[in-house]
Amino acid sequence: MARYFDVHPENPAARAVGQVVGLIRDGGLIVYPTDSLYAFGCRLGNVEGVERIRRARQLDDRHHFTLVCRDFSQLGQFVQINNARFRAVRAATPGSYTFILPATREVPRRLQHPRKRTVGVRIPDHVVAQALLAELGEPLVSSSLLLPGDEEPMTQGWEIKERLDHTVDAVVDGGDCGTVPTTVVDWSDDEPVILRHGAGDPSRFE
């Protein structure tokens, strides 16, 4: 049965944040709020956690997992980023964008696209997500909470808890995150390509 944490979206209690991060460090899989949908999250080295996300979302090995990072400095450890990408990505973060970029050696091969050797990265503009990342001290391996067969993502913490009670170890309820996913920008080649138009303004990459 999943633990349920009802946290304030603008002032999350440090004790609750610490308890959630403790679960993550112990190998737990959580659902947490971001500035664009709720998301699954687990620790970078949590192989079973990643497989649990794959099973819950019915994902194949071509799915791009996202490394949700606290800041640009942390993001730069996991992706290769030249000057043009650096300026554009930094100007757009934190925000509702996911960038697909060439992965560095810090990214486990199982999280990279099997052919392109890329990975998704993003920096959320959400107080609760940032509090979790600050306490954890490393990125969260994440995937949006879009379940098979659902036309709309779930936006209520109690509903997520009820639905995923035996799928995840904790649900962090930080209020309504909306129903619009991130804008996904593939910058694995020289020019950026918009793969999905979402909450982030895509015009700066078109």
**Residue 105 φ/ψ, nearest 5 degrees:** -70, -10
Give the pLDDT band of residue 143 (cuts 50, 70, 90): very high
Number of residues written out for the chain: 206
Instruction: Measure Cα distances from 33 to 63, 128, 133, 144, 167 in Å.
Output: 21, 7, 12, 10, 17
pLDDT at 204: 87
Residue whose structure tokens are 């944490």:
5
pLDDT at 44: 94
pLDDT at 127: 97
Tell me the average pLDDT across 69-75: 95
pLDDT at 114: 86
Instruction: Measure Cα distances from 136 to 21, 119, 132, 169 in Å.
Output: 6, 20, 6, 17
Lowest mean pLDDT among 9-23, 83-97, 117-131: 83-97
Q: Is it the case that residue 144 has pLDDT exceeding 90?
A: yes
Do residues 91 and 203 make contact, with C-beta atoms less than 8 angstroms apart?
no
More confident residue, 160 or 206: 160
Pairing of strands 118-122, 97-102: antiparallel
Tell me the average pLDDT across 6-27: 97
The percentage of residues in the chain with a pLDDT greater than 70, rounded to a whole number, is 100
Question: How is residue 56 annotated by DSSP?
Answer: H
pLDDT at 115: 87
Q: Is it the case that residue 206 has pLDDT exceeding 90?
A: no
CA distance 182 to 171: 21
* 45: amino acid identity, one letter: G
Tell me if the domain spanning 3-205 has CATH number 3.90.870.10: yes
Do residues 168 and 38 make contact, with C-beta atoms less than 8 angstroms apart?
no
pLDDT at 117: 93
Tell me the average pLDDT across 27-48: 97
pLDDT at 107: 95
Nearest to 126 by CA among 12, 13, 39, 35: 35
Tell me the average pLDDT across 163-177: 96
Give the pLDDT band of residue 172 (cuts 50, 70, 90): very high
pLDDT at 5: 98
Domain boundaries, the chain: 3-205
pTM of the model: 0.95
pLDDT at 167: 97
Q: Is it the case that residue 84 has pLDDT exceeding 90?
A: no
Structure tokens at 172: 């962090």
CA distance 206 to 197: 11
Tally of CA atoms within 13 A in the half-sphere of 52 that contains its CB: 20
Q: Is it the case that residue 130 has pLDDT exceeding 90?
A: yes
